[in-house]
Each structure stands twice: as C-alpha cells, then as structure tokens.
C-alpha cells in the first residue's frame, strides 16, 4: 500500500522548492545595482517640484515594503492551493486504481464461473456459409446496423430430451436488441404463419413445421428469408426448462380470466405429467401468482383468441421472467443457470453469452408485437389451417419501419418473390 509519511515529506519538499522558485514576488520590487545608481544620479529639479519629488522618494520604501508583503502572501496562497490540488489528484488516482483492480478481479472471477456453467448447454455451431441472408438492392446481404437479432424457439419437447428436428416450435420469437440503448423488442411470429420454410425444397408450410422437418438452424434461416432479417444465432428451450425457471424465480403474476381458467387447468394435468414437475389446479380466476407448470399451461392456451392471443400470453410471461431475473440475487441466478442450461440449445458462443450476461442490468423491455399485422385465417389446401399474411410484402415493410426506426429499408427481391407465391397459393392479397 501507499506510504503516507513518505508522501507528506515529498509534498513538503515540493512546497519548499516552489518557495525558492517564487520567493514572495520580491524580485518584482527590488532594484538591481545599476537601477539604483541611475536613480541616484538623476537630477532632482528645483522649487516645489524638488520638494514634491523628495517627498515621493521618501514615501516609496514604505509602499514597496507593503506591496512585497501582499505579493508574498498571495504567492504562499497560490502555492498552497497548488499543493492541495496535487494531493486531491493523487487521492482520486488511488481510488480509481483501487476500483479498477477490484472490478477487474470480479470480471475475471465471474467470467471463469460463467464459462464453467456454459459447458452444460446443448451447443450448435453454425458457420457463416450456413446462414441465409437476403441480398438487398445495393447488392449486399441485409445488415441491420446497430441491432443484434436472435431467434427464440420454444419447442414441445417436455421431457428434457435433446432439442432438434421432429419437434414443433410452438413459440417463434425474434428478440431484437438495440445495441446503443439496451432496449429489447420482441416480435412473435405466429406458429401457423404460411411462409417459405425451406428454399431448397421449395417448401411452403406453417412456420412451426419448418422447425419440425429441418431443425432450428433452418427455422432461423426461414425468418431471415421471409422477413429480411440478419439473425445469426438462435436459442431453443423446452417447456420443462421454462417451468423450472419460473419456479426458481418464484412464479409470475398473471391475471387469469374466467374463460381461460378451465383450459389452463386442463393443460396443467398434461404438462405436469410430461415434465415430471408437480403443480396444483387453480381454484378461481383473477390476479394470482402462477408456478412454473401453471404459467407454461397459460402460455399454451390457443382456443381463446387462437394463436394471436397465445403469443401475447407468451410475451407477458417472458416479460415478467426478464424483470424477475434483473432483480434476482446472485444465488438465484446461479441456481437458474445450473438447472436450466442443460435444457437449452443455442448457437451463441460462450463469449457472446458472457457479454450479454454482463449487460443484463442495462437491458430493458420495449415494444412487443405479433406478426403478421394484417392476416387472414384460412385452410390452405394440403396445409391445413394457416395464418396467411395480407400481404407478406406490406407486412415486412411495416415490420422494418416499426422495429428498426431510422434505418432505410427497401424490400429485397426475395421477399417480393415469396409474397407473390403466397398470393398465388392462397389468393389472399
């Protein structure tokens, strides 16, 4: 640590050095020998002028002495002020250095802990040439500067099995982070939206079926291809992971309507059996704290308001979970990581997840919405009940205007082509 005694000695030496350099301003008022001689040799004149000059000369020594004293006092004050400023700057530097060292140690320790936890996840590696991005009018791939976009999938694997193909993605959300402000926006794409789910096979089906047939990587690419996005990573979770996470966070506050209550209780029985997580039936509607299984069952209700209200319920639960995570203690967060990560599949790197974790308290939730805005529910021959965009082109244009304000956007040729194909298949325009 710092030696305060040595520091005080050093400061005294600096003060004495300053006194030698600025000795009270005496050099300003003292005359050298040649100046004094010239003053003495100068004729004094006659008469009253001579008397006046003699009086003036007699008064000058007293005036010079007073001025020297004032200059000395001023010089001492200035030297003392300079020393105080130097001491203050030294103290500030010490405090900043100490804080920096503490923060550095905390970051290193937290980073090591986080890296050890992340190894429990189901990891997927996606190379750049596997990521589909539409070519825009300037001949370059779409690039939404200033935003990080990630695909979130909630799949119907309820027993903790490995996430992949042959699972339906009941939740399809684009999580968009404003890198400057930390605002997070959620775009729920309705699971039954009729889109191009695979380009190689020219496959047009419900978005959820794209995940089932081709897996999370191609489901992510389908969002890029149909919506002119630049998503490079995804996170997929099963219902068991969501239920466990909500239980660890202490539940979520939901206002359950009388119409929703019987459907919620019906899903509770099946969800509890498939996840192995115990729960109870709700006795009445109203605002109440739901446990993990109850909250998941609430998210699964689709017979009231179809898929439109279901995605709204999902966003409500996610928003509450995010808020609770921001206010949770370290012990709760560590337990959350230990129990949930093995049930998560992602293409995010360890470094990316660590960085996002360190920025957790800077993030805040903003607008959330369902997509498409304008739509028609209908039966498409051979594809069953679907949500058809009216039209994809106009819906995607509005999406970019609302989600990425300030960025100029012209729909790509690919989105225009897909939009025309959907019109041809469904007649909706």
What CATH number is given to the structural domain containing 185? 3.40.630.190
Task: Tell me which residue range forms the domain holding 330.
Answer: 147-374
Same domain, 46 and 157: no
Whether 224 maps to a domain, the answer reads: yes
Structure token pair of residue 210: 């794209």
Same domain, 368 and 241: yes
Last residue of a domain, one of 331, 359, 374: 374
Give percent above pLDDT 70 in the chain.
75
Q: Is the pTM of this model over 0.85?
A: no
Q: Which residue has the higher pLDDT, 297 or 40?
A: 297
Same domain, 239 and 286: yes
Tell me: the pLDDT tens digits for 63-91?
577 777 788 788 888 877 777 776 666 66
Q: 327: pLDDT confidence band, cut at 50, 70 and 90?
A: confident
Whether 420 maps to a domain, the answer reads: no
- What integer best gives the mean pLDDT of the chain? 81
Same domain, 101 and 230: no
Q: Which residue has the higher pLDDT, 389 or 121?
A: 389
Tell me: the pLDDT tens digits for 229-274?
999 999 988 888 899 999 999 999 999 999 999 999 999 998 898 8
- Whether omega for the bond prior to residue 85 falls within 30 degrees of 0, making it cis, is no
Structure token pair of residue 368: 């959330």
Same domain, 368 and 234: yes
- Whether omega for the bond prior to residue 391 falls within 30 degrees of 0, making it cis, is yes
Same domain, 336 and 251: yes
What total number of domains does the chain contain? 2
Same domain, 217 and 293: yes
Q: Where are the beta strands (DSSP E) in 199-329?
A: 203-206, 233-238, 252-256, 286-290
Whether 427 maps to a domain, the answer reads: no
Angle between helices 207-227 and 413-426 (to 10 degrees): 140
pLDDT given for residue 151 in this prediction: 95
Q: Where are the beta strands (DSSP E) in 83-168?
A: 122-123, 147-155
Last residue of a domain, one of 374, 402, 422: 374
Same domain, 191 and 272: yes
Last residue of a domain, one of 346, 374, 402: 374
With a cut of 70, say whether residue 60 has pLDDT above it. Answer: no
In our burial notation (b when 16+ CB lie closer than 10 A, e otherwise), range 4-32 reads eeeeeeeeeeeeeebeeebebbeeeeeee
Whether 407 maps to a domain, the answer reads: no
Q: 17: pLDDT confidence band, cut at 50, 70 and 90?
A: low
Whether 139 maps to a domain, the answer reads: no
Same domain, 178 and 76: no
* Secondary structure letter of residue 193 according to DSSP: B
- Interatomic CA distance for residues 248 and 246, integer angstroms: 5
Q: 7: pLDDT confidence band, cut at 50, 70 and 90?
A: very low
Whether 399 maps to a domain, the answer reads: no
Whether 379 maps to a domain, the answer reads: no
Give percent above pLDDT 90 in the chain.
45
Return the residue matching tokens 């337990």.
Answer: 335
Whether 332 maps to a domain, the answer reads: yes
Same domain, 350 and 246: yes
């Amino acid at each position: 640590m710092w030696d305060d005694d040595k520091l005080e000695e050093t400061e005294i030496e600096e003060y004495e050095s300053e006194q030698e350099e600025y000795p009270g301003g005496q050099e300003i008022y003292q005359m050298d020998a040649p100046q004094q001689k010239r003053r003495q040799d100068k004729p004094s004149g006659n008469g009253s002028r001579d008397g006046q000059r003699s009086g003036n000369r007699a008064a000058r020594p007293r005036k010079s002495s007073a001025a020297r004293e004032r200059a000395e006092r001023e010089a001492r004050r200035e030297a003392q002020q300079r020393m105080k400023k130097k001491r203050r700057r030294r103290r500030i530097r010490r405090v900043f250095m100490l804080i920096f060292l503490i923060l550095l140690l905390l970051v290193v320790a937290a980073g090591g802990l986080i890296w050890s936890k992340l190894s429990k996840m189901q990891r997927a590696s996606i190379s750049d040439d596997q990521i589909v991005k539409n070519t825009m009018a300037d001949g370059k791939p779409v690039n939404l500067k200033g935003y990080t976009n990630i695909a979130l999938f909630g799949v119907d694997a309820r027993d903790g099995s490995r996430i992949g193909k042959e699972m339906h993605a009941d939740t399809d959300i684009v999580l968009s982070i404003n890198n400057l402000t930390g605002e997070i926006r959620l775009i729920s794409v309705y699971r039954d939206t009729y889109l191009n789910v695979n380009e190689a096979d020219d496959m047009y089906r419900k978005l959820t079926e794209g995940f089932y047939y081709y897996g999370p990587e191609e489901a992510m690419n389908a969002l890029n291809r149909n919506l002119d996005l630049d998503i490079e990573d995804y996170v997929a979770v099963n219902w068991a992971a969501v239920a466990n996470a909500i239980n660890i966070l202490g539940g979520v506050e939901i206002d359950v309507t009388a119409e929703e209550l019987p459907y919620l209780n019906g899903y509770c029985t099946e969800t509890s059996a498939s996840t192995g997580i115990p729960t109870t039936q709700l006795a009445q509607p109203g605002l109440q704290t739901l446990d993990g299984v109850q909250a998941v069952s609430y998210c699964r209700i689709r017979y009231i308001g179809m898929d439109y209200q279901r995605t709204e319920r999902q966003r409500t639960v996610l928003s509450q979970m995010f808020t609770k995570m921001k206010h949770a203690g370290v012990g709760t967060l560590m337990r959350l990581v230990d129990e949930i990560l093995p049930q998560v599949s992602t293409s995010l790197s360890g470094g990316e997840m660590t960085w996002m974790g360190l920025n957790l308290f800077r993030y805040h939730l903003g607008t959330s919405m369902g997509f498409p805005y304008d739509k028609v529910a209908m039966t498409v021959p051979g594809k069953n009940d679907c949500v058809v965009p009216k039209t994809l082109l106009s819906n995607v244009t509005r999406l970019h205007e609302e989600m990425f304000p300030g960025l100029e956007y012209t729909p790509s040729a690919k989105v225009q082509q897909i939009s025309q194909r959907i019109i041809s298949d469904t007649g909706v325009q």
